[in-house]
Amino acid sequence: MFAFLNGQFLPRAAAAIPVEDRGFLFGDGVYEVWRVLNGRLFENERHLARLSSGLAELRISPPDLVQPNAVIGIAERLLAESGLTEGEATFYVEITRGVAPRTHQFPPAGTLPTVYATVNRFTPADDARARGSSCVTVPDLRWLRCDVKTVQLLPNVMARQAAAERGAIEAIMVRDGIVTEGSHTNVFGVLDGLIRTHPTNQFILPGVTRAVVLEIARSLGLQVREDALTAQDLGRLDELFLVGTTTDVMPITRLDDQPVGAGEPGPVTTRLVRAFREYLDAACAAAHVA
């Protein structure tokens, strides 16, 4: 696989950053992950908007990559060099505050951000999607700016590991009795005929897939409310599903070792699984040409 690092394209194994990079020392940076289909970036504008707003929140000066044409050019070259212009892939970008002697406050003006990008082959988890998957709940131990997509992911890492150790695909986080989101997904439930998910605020990442799924659900005439589920709601859900760039729409049929609803993918989720996949295929087919 190929990588882009600070203006240069090189084999990923040859890409290296100095040990004083603030991403390494402090987790002082942001990242973004795009879904790629046949060389086309899904929802590029939304990913770039979130990347720009994260950089602005952290007061990191935006590098050229944050321009639509620049990011598409870099992605296309990485995909081509890595043999990924057909089929499924992901495109990863990380921007840190750059390299400087270790001190907490910002480095001197003029310190250049580190810009890293790479691509990976991707296989959607369609078998798990057909069967339904399992999740566990964990306490949400994160900071109060979960809306910023920073590379500080330790609570997410610990949560996902806890899920893996219990044979589950994802950990659903609960803060003060409120369901926030998964370690790398947004969480939706269907209760009494209504689709519910946490509103966008500082307690969740404003997921690109979440926004697309909300639009699709509304366009299908489904009842949707951006109103968080509570921990109590979890025990009486009709349906539960996760959404995310590498998850699409994923039915969850077991939660904390108990069946959710009928214990199989429900009608609302199944409809959204299909509609989302159709949207993804169509949107990528119509996106920029690789």
Distance CA(223)–CA(221), nearest Å, equals 7
- Single out the catalytic residue among 40, 47, 149, 184: 149
Neighbouring-strand partners of residue 182: 172
Q: CB of residue 35 vs ligand PLP: minimum separation in angstroms?
A: 8
Distance CA(120)–CA(2), nearest Å, equals 9
Distance CA(193)–CA(221), nearest Å, equals 12
By the rule CB under 6 A, 245 interacts with ligand PLP: yes
Distance CA(63)–CA(178), nearest Å, equals 37
Q: CB of residue 213 vs ligand PLP: minimum separation in angstroms?
A: 9
Per-position x/- string for 137-176, each x denoting binding to ligand PLP as judged by CB under 6 A, each - no binding:
-------------------x--------------------
What is the identity of the amino acid at 269?
T
- Residue 289 CB neighbour total at 10 angstroms: 7
Helices 44-58 and 208-219: crossing angle in degrees, nearest 10, is: 140
Decide whether 184 or 196 has the Cβ nearer to ligand PLP. 184
By the rule CB under 6 A, 44 interacts with ligand PLP: no
Distance of CA 230 to the CA centre of its chain: 22
By the rule CB under 6 A, 94 interacts with ligand PLP: no
Q: Which of 21, 170, 181, 239 binds ligand PLP (CB under 6 A)?
A: 181
Decide whether 40 or 99 has the Cβ nearer to ligand PLP. 40
Reference 240, options 158, 184, 170, 152; nearest CA is 170
Beta-strand relationship, 248-255 and 133-139: parallel
Residues between 183 and 202 with contacts to ligand PLP, criterion CB under 6 A: 184-186
Binding part of the chain for ligand PLP, among 109-117, 157-165, 204-212, 272-280 by CB under 6 A, reads 204-212
What is the identity of the amino acid at 272?
L
Binding part of the chain for ligand PLP, among 74-82, 126-134, 177-185, 225-233 by CB under 6 A, reads 177-185
Catalytic residue ranges: 149
* Contact set with ligand PLP (CB under 6 A): 33, 156, 181, 184-186, 205, 207-210, 244-245
